[in-house]
Amino acid sequence: MEQVEADGLRKKYGDTVALDGVSLSVEEGEVFGLVGPNGAGKTTLVRCLTGTTRPTDGDPSLLGKSPEEVDKSRVSVLPQEFSPPERLTPEELVGYYASLYPREETRDPAEVVEEMGLSSSHDTRYADLSGGQKSRLKVAISLVNDPDVLFLDEPTTGIDPEGREDVWGVVERLADEGTTVFLTTHYMREVERLADRVALLSDGTVVEVGATDDVIREHAGEPRLVVRTVGSAEEAAESLGAMAEDGTVVFENVAVDGIGEALDALDDADIEYDEVRWREPGLEDAYLRLTGGRNDG
């Protein structure tokens, strides 16, 4: 069953087109990634899908209804800009947001705090938590109503690697438990790690949507081995039947187990080199290819 749908959504702010005919759907229990640079329209799309902004044209659907008609206790949104009261502790904060819902629809605040790994900081004010702890606490707040659908808008922007791993672990656990997660980000590695499917958004338009691995495989290109030679890269590349690029020799479509063979070819040809880089393409490569190199996020 589709829990989130967009059918031809358009949104204009004056002469500015924020969304231009966006269509996509998210199934129950899926982690769906929406990626694109800042200004691509990600936050506007989330607002249309959750009923906080009305689209100019098109039809959004949430849990089979228009977003305005949905039981709000079944949905939770963690916006990009969210600053809880800094003087409260984790359990006090979760308890405060739980009080905004009917009691029978909420989870026990202490249980949610423990689930997020914040029990050891139960008496620490929000202002004194680490970046990773703050990020986990924000997610905890968004889970207090035990939502069927969770929207996370740029949940790891501006936090350290440890905090990012904390949040990723939480999302993975939620997915395992059956929560539908709609994740927006410009951090491609985040989507590669978490999302079952992904939509690539550029200038308010979806340029590709599909299983994350399929999008990478179909559009990101092949793995490459890049070798910086001591002598002329052009001459070396010609003798090896390879490609010269920016003063390096480039071997296209070289898997990990083929690196040794490529280096043996260099040695056999008495070509000296001082740097070797192997790179497997990812979602960012696919995005750049599909959008003509536009990614200013």
Residues 103, 104, 110: CA angle, nearest 5 degrees = 65
191 with 54, same domain: the answer is: yes
Could you give the percent of the chain with pLDDT greater than 70?
A: 98
Q: Is 95 contained in some domain?
A: yes
pLDDT tens digit sequence for 53-102: 999 999 999 999 999 999 988 999 998 888 899 999 999 999 999 998 88
**CB crowding 242-272: b at 16 or more within 10 Å, else e:** bbbeeebbbbeebeeeeeeebbebbeeeebe
Q: How many domains does the chain have?
A: 2
Position 297 scores a pLDDT of 44
pLDDT tens digit sequence for 129-175: 988 888 889 989 999 999 999 999 888 877 778 778 888 988 998 89
Considering the entire predicted model, what is its pTM? Answer: 0.83
297: its two tokens: 């996020």
109 with 192, same domain: the answer is: yes
Q: How far apart are CA 27 and CA 5, in angstroms?
A: 9
167 with 234, same domain: the answer is: no
31 with 116, same domain: the answer is: yes
For the chain, what is the mean pLDDT?
Answer: 90
Q: Is 30 contained in some domain?
A: yes
Q: How far apart are CA 127 and CA 88, in angstroms?
A: 8
139 with 254, same domain: the answer is: no
Q: Is 288 contained in some domain?
A: no
173 with 265, same domain: the answer is: no
236 with 183, same domain: the answer is: no
166 with 235, same domain: the answer is: no
For residue 242, the enclosing domain spans 222-280
Q: Is 273 contained in some domain?
A: yes
Contact assessment for residue 199 and residue 24, using Cβ atoms and an 8 Å cutoff: yes
Last residue of a domain, one of 218, 239, 257: 218
Highest mean pLDDT among 111-125, 163-177, 192-206: 192-206
User: What are the Cα distances from residue 139, in Å, to 100, 163, 253, 288?
Assistant: 16, 12, 40, 30
Q: Is 53 contained in some domain?
A: yes
Q: Is 297 contained in some domain?
A: no
Q: What is the DSSP pairing of strand 31-35 with strand 180-185? A: parallel
64 with 109, same domain: the answer is: yes
Q: How far apart are CA 150 and CA 179, in angstroms?
A: 7
Q: Is 128 contained in some domain?
A: yes
Contact assessment for residue 144 and residue 106, using Cβ atoms and an 8 Å cutoff: yes
Contact assessment for residue 45 and residue 201, using Cβ atoms and an 8 Å cutoff: yes
254 with 146, same domain: the answer is: no
Q: Is 295 contained in some domain?
A: no
Q: What is the CATH number of the domain that holds 240?
A: 3.30.70
Which residue in this structure is represented by tokens 């970046």?
131
DSSP letter string, 219-259: HS---EEEEEESS-HHHHHHHHT-EEETTEEEEES--GGGH
Confidence band, pLDDT 50/70/90 cuts, at residue 293:
low
156 with 265, same domain: the answer is: no
In this predicted structure, which of 121-125, 140-144, 283-287 has the lowest mean pLDDT?
121-125
Rg over alpha carbons for the chain, rounded to the nearest Å, is 23
Last residue of a domain, one of 198, 218, 238: 218
In this predicted structure, the answer to whether residue 295 has a pLDDT above a threshold of 60 is no
Last residue of a domain, one of 168, 199, 218: 218
Q: How far apart are CA 168 and CA 170, in angstroms?
A: 5
Q: What is the CATH number of the domain that holds 51?
A: 3.40.50.300
150 with 263, same domain: the answer is: no
